Amino acid sequence: MAKITYIDHDGTERVVEAKNGETVMEAAVKNSIPGIDADCGGACACATCHVYVDQAFMDKVGEQEEMEKSMLDFAENVQENSRLSCQITVSDELDGLRVTTPESQH
Amino acid sequence: MGREGLDLSDANKIVILGGGQAGAQAIQSLRMGGYEGALTLIGDEPSLPYQRPPLSKAYMKGEFAEERLFFKPAAWYEDNNVELILSTPATRIDRKNQTVEMAHGAHIEYDALVIATGSRPRSLPLEGADLENVHDLRGLTDVERIQPQMIEGRNIVIIGAGYIGLEAAAVARQMGLSATVLEMAPRVLARVTSPVMSEFYEAEHRRQGVDIRTNARLARLEGKDGKVTAAILEDGTSLPADLVLVGIGILPNEELANEAGIACNNGILVDRDARTSDPRIFAAGDCASRPLVHYGRSSRLESVHNAIEQGKLAAAAILGKPRPPEDCPWFWSDQYDLKLQIAGLSQGYDQIVLRGSPEERKFAAFYLKNGTLIAVDAVNSAPEFLASKKLIMMGAKVEPDTLSDTTVSMKDIAAAAAA
């Protein structure tokens, strides 16, 4: 289990209890977090679950695979802490994770 | 915003038929869009609304927990005051009285109705199709039947080399089964892609040990004690089968609409807002035939993107909100370590341009018509897919030599076209 805080682009915070093994995207969608569309359901096919990861967790969320890298390359407003939340798997280590959603996923 | 048709923004009773991707999206978009009236989903399957793509991929392999299939947990429907009527087929739409009748005889009233009844697999019109261990692959209950039989060393015969059949073949090989794929056409994926892609996927499956038989004429399935044992071809060849999977296409579930007098033609006909010929009734997903704004024609689309988009379009139209963006059609298929991403529809192309190298399992086939990019099949090539999506939606003309030149980045190609 991990408590994850989703912060939308205007600063509103929403805290979710995420289960180990699900992705940061799935935890968001199941809890109706706005700002994460996840149009492909987590197949790394659409880049509509883009988030900014809190710096303190950058080394805990794992490395990007090549597919994610190139998908992000085409997303809008990418930063060095940009990730696709469907590619981050929840574990105890991520307890306290904070991610911010961009203004738009398209 | 210049939308045609009846204003439904005071609707207070909305009914959704079907708990697939389109129905689930409509529900979510209605509630997220601020709709507070009665919202009921009627579905003929027993489970909560769930996503289908993993069924022929990770879920079939046992690498994807069942609860991850569900769009929302049960509590979400309670919290959002959505009534779920499951395991219950709708049997009739009474447009005059604005009611939907259900199998157990009850009926429910609607101000606005969204038909998201999806599609069903074409059945095999051959002797032996009703034997035990002959399966379709469409729903969760199908996988529940198939999965216990996916045992190392067993023989699976897959009928139809479309995406579903090939994805299942990949999973079967990865689980150690001996897999044969029978295809009537001279090549795999004949209905959906070009010869160059067919050749690539056919070679890949052969390399992985799948026995692919094109131009195959299946005569019948043979069984013993009611269970399938072999597939018999017209030339007499007998292929041993412990289980058979039929993947020969799908048919739209348009009967309810058709019987209610709603216009249908290989799919329930809808406008850009997913509205049918009845202004209170919408159709979304596999069952609908929609205008394809980037192609100037109407068609059914069998895809997640289409289901989501039309669910959103229907919800927005009901609520009187601006029409959400319409993407060009897009699809994906996972087989082995190959991620195929498809943007656009390639039918009618007059030129194919290749970029990258099939040998390196990383390439794209671009489809052009009169110099305009209309589609791409991208294998392990996300930039080609994403850039093409933009280019197709722009209606961009792109020089074939530029597309095939891997020293020019796709990002630059897209940027140049947008300038």
> Could you report the per-residue pLDDT of B56-97, keeping only the tens digit for each?
988 999 888 888 899 999 999 999 999 999 999 999 999 999
Q: Is the pLDDT of residue B220 over 60?
A: yes
In the structure, how many helices (H) and strands (E) does chain B have? 10, 26
> Could you report the per-residue pLDDT of B280-294, keeping only the tens digit for each?
999 999 999 999 999
Q: Is the pLDDT of residue B223 over 70?
A: yes
User: What phi, psi does B190 have (nearest 5°)?
Assistant: -60, -35
CA distances from A57 to A54, A71, A79 (A): 6, 21, 15
Residue of B nearest to A19 (CA): B68
Helix/strand/coil percentages in chain A, nearest 5: 25, 25, 55
Residues 59-88 of B with CB under 8 A from A: 65, 68, 71-73, 76, 80
% of chain B residues with pLDDT over 70: 100
Indicate the DSSP class of residue B366: E
> Could you report the per-residue pLDDT of B136-168, keeping only the tens digit for each?
999 999 999 999 999 999 999 999 999 999 999
- Residue appearing with tokens 């609607």: B110
Residues 297-316 of B with CB under 8 A from A: 304-305, 308
pLDDT of residue A41: 72
pLDDT of residue A90: 95
Delimit the domains of chain A by residue range: 2-100
Q: Is the pLDDT of residue A27 over 50?
A: yes
ipTM: 0.86
**Model confidence at A71, in pLDDT bands (50, 70, 90)?**
confident
- CATH topology for B123-246 is FAD/NAD(P)-binding domain (3.50.50)
Considering A28-32, A69-73, B96-100, the range whose residues carry the highest mean pLDDT is B96-100
Distance (Å) from the alpha carbon of A21 to chain B's nearest alpha carbon: 9
CA distances from B20 to A25, B70, B122, B404 (A): 20, 10, 18, 39
pLDDT of residue A47: 81
Would the CB atoms of A30 and B334 count as touching at under 8 Å?
no
Residue of B nearest to A71 (CA): B382
Delimit the domains of chain B by residue range: 13-120+250-319, 123-246, 337-418
Average pLDDT estimate for B346-375 = 97
pLDDT of residue A44: 73
Residue of A40, A73, A106 lying closest to B325 (CB–CB): A106
Per mean pLDDT, which range of A41-55, B343-357, B381-395 is the poorest?
Answer: A41-55
A56-77 in b/e burial notation, b at 16+ Cβ within 10 A? ebeeebeebeebbebbbbbbee
CA distances from B134 to B130, B158, B172, B237, B273 (A): 7, 10, 15, 19, 39
> Could you report the per-residue pLDDT of B22-38, keeping only the tens digit for each?
999 999 999 999 999 99
**Model confidence at B20, in pLDDT bands (50, 70, 90)?**
very high
B176-214 in b/e burial notation, b at 16+ Cβ within 10 A? ebbbbbbbeeebbbbebbbeebbebbbebbeeeebebbb
Q: Which superfamily does B13-120+250-319 belong to?
A: FAD/NAD(P)-binding domain (3.50.50.60)
> Could you report the per-residue pLDDT of B177-208, keeping only the tens digit for each?
999 999 999 999 999 999 999 999 999 999 99
Q: Rounded to two decimals, what is the model's pTM?
A: 0.94
Would the CB atoms of B53 and A41 count as touching at under 8 Å?
yes
pLDDT of residue B108: 98
pLDDT of residue B2: 54
User: What phi, psi does B120 have (nearest 5°)?
Assistant: -135, 150
First and final CA of chain B: distance in angstroms? Answer: 28
Q: Which CATH architecture has domain B337-418?
A: 2-Layer Sandwich (3.30)
List all residues 6 or more positions away from B355 whose beta carbon is below 8 Å from its beta carbon: B363, B364, B366, B381, B384, B403, B404, B405, B406
- Average pLDDT of every residue of chain A: 90
Q: Which CATH architecture has domain A2-100?
A: Roll (3.10)
pLDDT of residue A25: 94
- Average pLDDT of every residue of chain B: 96
> Could you report the per-residue pLDDT of B320-338, keeping only the tens digit for each?
999 999 999 999 999 999 9
Average pLDDT estimate for B349-354 = 98
In whole angstroms, give the CA distance from residue B20 to residue B70: 10
In the structure, how many helices (H) and strands (E) does chain A have? 2, 5
B380 in contact with chain A, both atoms CB, cutoff 8 A: yes
Q: Which of B77, B303, B304 to mutate to test the interface with A (most CBs of A within 10 A)?
A: B304
% of chain A residues with pLDDT over 70: 99
- Quick check: do B123-246 and B337-418 share a fold? no
Task: Please report residues of A whose CB lies closer than 8 A to that of B51.
Answer: 41
pLDDT of residue B1: 47
In whole angstroms, give the CA distance from residue B403 to residue B143: 41
B16 within 8 A of B116, measured Cβ to Cβ: yes
Average pLDDT estimate for B248-277 = 98
In whole angstroms, give the CA distance from residue B405 to residue B393: 22
